[in-house]
Amino acid sequence: MNADPGPTGPVVTFYRFIEQARPPQRADQAAAGTLPTRAFRYCEAARVASGFGWYIFPPMDFSLVWDGADIFWSFEGSGGWLPLKAVQFPDFRTRFDEIAPEHIRGYSPPFLAALPEPGLVQIWTGLVARTAPGWSLLFRWLPNIARPGGWEPYEGIIETDHWFGPVISNLRLTRTHVPVEFKADFPMTMAQPVPHAVYQERLLNAYRVVGSLEQLTEDDWADYEATVVKPNTTVNRKRGAYAAEVRKRHKSSGIHGSAAEEQTES
């Protein structure tokens, strides 16, 4: 029997309000080419995590600098460093008011805003998103990709099946008096689809802990043997057997494989 395919249509639709913004991009299972080849071929855990979601980009190149009290921003053509409070994307307010219905004009979202807490900034990606009923978006840093220095992202889950508003990223600047650069061609966050049910308190509170080796059952020891002992005692066992096993199981259950599927056996 095939696995539940989830929504019959797209699980998410991204709306590009700022047309200069780079469209979201399906995350790369090779972590934008940075995952070691051996990990890509044989480490199914890292490969799947790297490709789980979509890269989200800032809509323009810009820089931030924090002096410990105030935040300033700069971009090509700005003429220097400008104090940051809440600012619109260049020329976007005019564009928004030209297109939006009359009663919505004047409500274009800010592009950048300095939050009240020291060093905290809110950045709008230029996108709005809508997910299928019962699905949310988790926004987080890109798995298995090194983060540029000078800032730390906050993670958040938005129930975008009900909330149709700006896709924003909150971050904390971590160094002072040194510019922190953001590039329009490098992702600043990753969006991952999650069903509402997986983060409900009832589910998350339904867990238990086995506290010692003596409490393992015969089935537990049998599973451990199959997972750890046999692979290390089997003569001429192929490298990447776990990855091949997972992909084979996914294929038989109706979950599509990947471009890397054939590489495990090569």
pLDDT digits (tens, 9 = 90+) for 119-171: 999 999 999 999 999 999 999 999 999 988 899 999 999 999 999 999 999 99
Q: In what order do the strands lie in the sheet with 135-140?
A: 25-26, 54-56, 189-195, 135-140, 156-158
Look up residue 190 and give its two tokens: 């990753």
How much is the pTM? 0.84
Residue 178 in this model has a pLDDT that exceeds 90: yes
- 177 phi and psi angles, rounded to 5 deg: 65, 15
Determine how β-strand 156-158 pairs with β-strand 180-182: unpaired
Name all domains of the chain by residue range, CATH numbers in brackets.
Answer: 12-203 (2.70.40.10), 208-265 (no CATH)
**CB 131 within 8 Å of CB 160:** yes
In whole angstroms, give the CA distance from residue 137 to residue 194. 6
pLDDT at residue 159 in the model: 97
The CA-atom distances, in angstroms, between 147 and each of 65, 143, 156, 188, 262 are: 17, 10, 17, 9, 31
* 236-255 residue pLDDT tens: 666 655 555 655 655 665 65
Neighbouring C-alpha atoms within 13 Å toward the C-beta of 220: 7
